[in-house]
Structure 1
Amino acid sequence: MFRFLHAADVHLDSPLVGLDRYESAPVDAVRSATRRAFENLVGLAIDEEVAFVLLVGDLYDGDWKDYRTGLFFVEQMAKLREAQIPVFVVAGNHDAASQLTKNLRPPDNVHFFSTKKPETRFVEAFDVAVHGQGYATRGITADLAAAYPAADGSMFHVGLLHTSLDGRPGHAPYAPTLSQLLAQKGYQYWALGHVHKREVVSQDPWIVFPGNLQGRHARETGPKGCTLVTVENGAVKQVEERPVDVLRWAVTRIDAEGASSTGEVLDRVAHAIASEADRSDGRALAVRVEVCGPVACHDEIASDPDRWTQEVRALAAGVGSTDVWIEKVRFATERPTDLAQLAARDDAIGSLIRDIASAAGDPAEIEALRASLVDIRGVLPRELLDGEDTVDPHSPETLARMVVEARELLLARIIRQGSVS
């Protein structure tokens, strides 16, 4: 019986461009999270006395800013060498050979697979064959797995592959292949990488995406970590998810419908944040808060969103022992009013509702909005365009949401400045 660890998409020292623009952001803690999670991975490997560790692509986020990233990796690998644990690595799209201009020789327990063709290495003490091929360039569109050798003999076979398989939402279609082709190779376990959400694609044979090691923004929520595999009598006996993240991301959506006051809305938000903190298992927590629904106090919130954003941020201080950072607050509440009735009015409110409804249904108006956003993006500094939550002028959903938000903001301001019933 033996165990091994399967991890992928570490993205060591991912720069997280624009993080310092976020109010009260724990910049150092967030930027060091990938290192601390990797340290946890190494510690877990040693504690579990694993036979080997697999790192399946995107160990690095791209070319190193300086040699400190490489030195950190070498130091961690030296700990595994001392514990006599070999490490097998394939390059992915972010750390493809063509992307890296700096390099340091790793300890002799670490093997980087060839980027030219599939290669096989053996862990003879456990009768294991490990197969893999890294990326020579970032945009691999060929089916690398097709050239992997078929299983031969009675050994336990593991395949390392950084791939999108037959496509996964939000991920570029690199090294595409089919799970059926992987199964035909006769391997007992396929260690995949590239997809940042954990997924067990198949259990016969085992085909697993472990997800990324550490969430880096609000699209990478929930537990993050690696997979611990137990092998007995030449077959996979157990596959376990093992979180190693140090900062957990969450998006909490609060339905404010029926709340009678801003105080009640805040109470609901506080309860939602506390629930997320309970699920973080004592880890630091980064929360994006979205408040929605028709609510009587909508105009009060919409007319001064900055004040209510700060009220939400203040709630984090009362969570308790968990370190909570409110990454962003978005209010998408609505007036509990029949828009058809408002549109029928013979005043500024009615005119506004009719004009916005007309614009929302006019392809020429939507195209003009899109063109304006493209022009604005064209003059903004690059660092303001690289965040994970930037406005996409080519997204119909984004444009539709902006029209609704503009309507609600204008209504709130008009109502605040005059008595409108």
Structure 2
Amino acid sequence: MIALHPFRFIHAADLHLDTPFTGMTGIPDRLRSYLQDSTFAALSGLVDLAVSEEVDFIVISGDVYDAADSSLRAQLRLKEAWERLDRHGIPVYVIHGNHDPLGSRVRLALPSNVRIFGSSLESYTAVSRLNGQSVAVVSGISYASSSVTENLSRHFIRNEDSSLYHIALLHANVDGQEGHDAYAPCSLSELRESGYDYWALGHIHKRQVLSEAPWVVYPGNPQGRSMKETGPKGCYLVEVDEAGRSVLHFHELDQLRWCEIELSIEGLNTEEEWKLRTEERLEAIRQDMKGKPAIARFKYTGSGPLHALISSGREARELLAELQRQEEMRVGAGSTGLLPRGIVWPAGIRLHTQAAVDREQLLGEDSFLGELFRMAEQAEREPQLLDELLEAALEPMKSDRRLRQLLKSKNAQERLEWLHFARETAASLLREEGAAGEGGR
């Protein structure tokens, strides 16, 4: 396969325009307003990147809108972005996903540079903006409804008569990734054997390159939408040379970043030391963000004397309230209507700490506590045993439909965290009970 001319394109997905960001309680109004505009600002950044890098075209792999009944505001902002790209001669190829399937309420006509794929396979020939030569075949399928369980990848059949670079747009769950609906399920081996040069995927919000020969890529979403979507977010700029070789460059587009910060309590003896370490990390995040706002949740781990002082959770709530008060003062210090640079909002505190224990001694100890630690360690190595333990422990909760769905949605890492928490909580309670018994004697 020989490309007639080098070209460049942007691969983005899951814009989720006009995400409502519900459930964020207690944050200052100016930060909330900034958050609610962040998906639109990320879209604007995407357009800026396409114009400044003079790309030949853009592909969007589904879920442009956050909801099927997208707001008029979302449609106006999207049309404005597409029209700006049109003025610069940049085509956009778009498929729709489970959040915005075909037939969703769309009130505005789109400019002529936008190609929307239907619910059966369609293909377009993309050209170089430099000389008008054909450089790529872009194929895609949109969702006809919000729940597509068919393996859509089987419809993609490469045109063997064409020597052009072939790009496939697909909104799908490859290899059944946990924590995500199994929409348009397919396997990586199927995509690799398809003959396409680049699979431009959407649906999974975590940035992943599943394969390089051919390229099978999730760019992630341009703007994180919750604490489940931490870290840099953006899109890929793909450069293809005369021989069809591709190089990917990730570009950050997020306007606000979600951060999960893990801190150990080892070496901490007082609440004052705890507060100071937390504030130091907040300042480190502030420096790393270089003015970009962030929302951070702190997860405390490790063991030590501080555990006994904070294990009730009351101190964590009080520390969080104090940190938020300090940050709210920073938010309020800016100009009216503007969010000051460097805001890092502390959104929550999670305690996964434990009292200091001699783990090796407990593992060899002939006691109930020793047996507890040995079983937990075995469950870490054997996923089937872990599932059996959790199923038995959580059986009483399954009568509640909402709890049943919540339990079902937890991935392997979250279930392992439950095991750790249960082990340390049980050990802490047993030690406290033993200490109380000795005191009574």
Shared fold per TM-score greater than 0.5 = yes
Cα-to-partner distance string for 1:303-355 (whole Å, 9 max, x where unaligned): 4332222344467579995210111112233333689xxxxxxxxxxxxx9xx
- Asked if residue 118 in structure 1 is aligned to residue 121 in structure 2, the reply is yes
Q: 1:280 and 1:237, CA in 2 relative to 1: closer, same or farther beyond 3 A? A: same
Q: Deviations over 1:380-417 (max 9, x none)?
A: xxxxx99xx99xxx9796598479669969999xx9xx
Q: What is the rounded CA distance, in whole Å, between the counterparts of 1:365 and 1:112 in structure 2? A: 46
1:13 and 2:13 are equivalent in the alignment = no
Listed one character per residue, the Cα deviations across residues 107-155 of structure 1 (whole Å, up to 9, x for unaligned) are: 111111011x100111242412111111111221222121123133221
Cα–Cα, structure 1 residues 404 and 371, in superposed 2: closer, same or farther, change >3 Å? farther
Matches within 5 A, 1:96-245: 96-97=101-102, 100-115=104-119, 117-124=120-127, 125-127=132-134, 128-151=136-159, 152-245=161-254
Instruction: Give unmatched runs, 5+ long, in structure 1.
Output: 340-352, 379-384
Distance 1:172 1:373, change over 3 A: closer
Q: TM-score, normalised by structure 1?
A: 0.80
Answer yes or no: is the 8 Å Cα contact 1:269–1:312 preserved in 2.
no
Q: TM-score, normalised by structure 2?
A: 0.76
Q: Structure 1 residue 80 and structure 2 residue 89: aligned?
A: no
Query: Measured at CA, do residues 402 and 95 of structure 1 come closer, stay the same or move farther in structure 2, by a change above 3 Å?
Result: farther
Partner AA of 1:32 in structure 2: D
Structure 2 CA distance for aligned equivalents of residues 157 and 277 of structure 1 = 42
**Superimposed CA distance per residue, residues 225-278 of structure 1 (whole angstroms, 9 cap, x where no aligned partner):** 000011221413421111111111111111102212122222322333333334
Instruction: Spell out, residue by residue over 1:58-104, the C-alpha distance to the aligned partner (whole angstroms, 9 max, x if none).
Output: 11111235311111111111100111111000011111125x23442
Write the distance in 1 (CA, Å) between the matches of 2:398 and 2:150.
36
Aligned pairs for 1:387-406 within 5 A: 398=418, 401=421
Matches within 5 A, 1:257-406: 257-303=266-312, 304-305=314-315, 306-313=317-324, 322-336=342-356, 371=396, 398=418, 401=421
For residue 347 of structure 1, what is the aligned residue in structure 2?
none
- More deviation in 239-248 or 271-280? 271-280
RMSD: 4.1
CA distance in 2, matches of 1:281, 1:54: 30
Inter-partner Cα distance in structure 2 for 1:195 and 1:242: 18
Q: 2:43 aligns with which of 21, 38, 45?
A: 38
Contact 1:302 1:408 in 2 (8 A): no
Q: From the superposition, tell whether residues 259 and 193 of structure 1 become closer, same or farther in structure 2 (CA, over 3 Å).
A: same
Percent identity between the aligned chains?
A: 33
- CA distance, structure 2, for counterparts of residue 241 and residue 204 of structure 1: 18
Between the aligned partners of 1:364 and 1:162, the Cα distance in structure 2 is 35
Q: 2: distance between equivalents of 1:187 and 1:212?
A: 23
Q: What is the aligned counterpart of 1:50 among 52, 55, 71? A: 55
Q: How many pairs does the alignment contain?
A: 394
The question of whether the paired residues in 1 share the 8 Å contact of 2:12 and 2:219 is answered with: yes
Find the aligned partners of 1:155 and 1:369 in 2 and give their Cα distance. Answer: 55
Mapped contact 2:70–2:106 kept (Cα < 8 A): no
Relative to structure 2, which stretch is displaced further, 6-15 or 177-186?
177-186
Q: Does the CA-based 8 Å contact 2:304-2:354 persist in structure 1?
A: yes
Task: Note the alpha carbon deviations across 1:132-184, whole angstroms, 9 max, x for none.
Answer: 11111122122212112313322122111111122212212221223333333
Are residues 48 and 70 of structure 1, via their aligned partners in 2, closer, same or farther at CA, if it must alter by over 3 Å? same
Q: Which runs of 5+ in 2 are unaligned?
A: 1-5, 332-339, 360-368, 377-387
3-state DSSP class of the match of 1:235?
coil
CA distance in 2, matches of 1:50, 1:39: 15
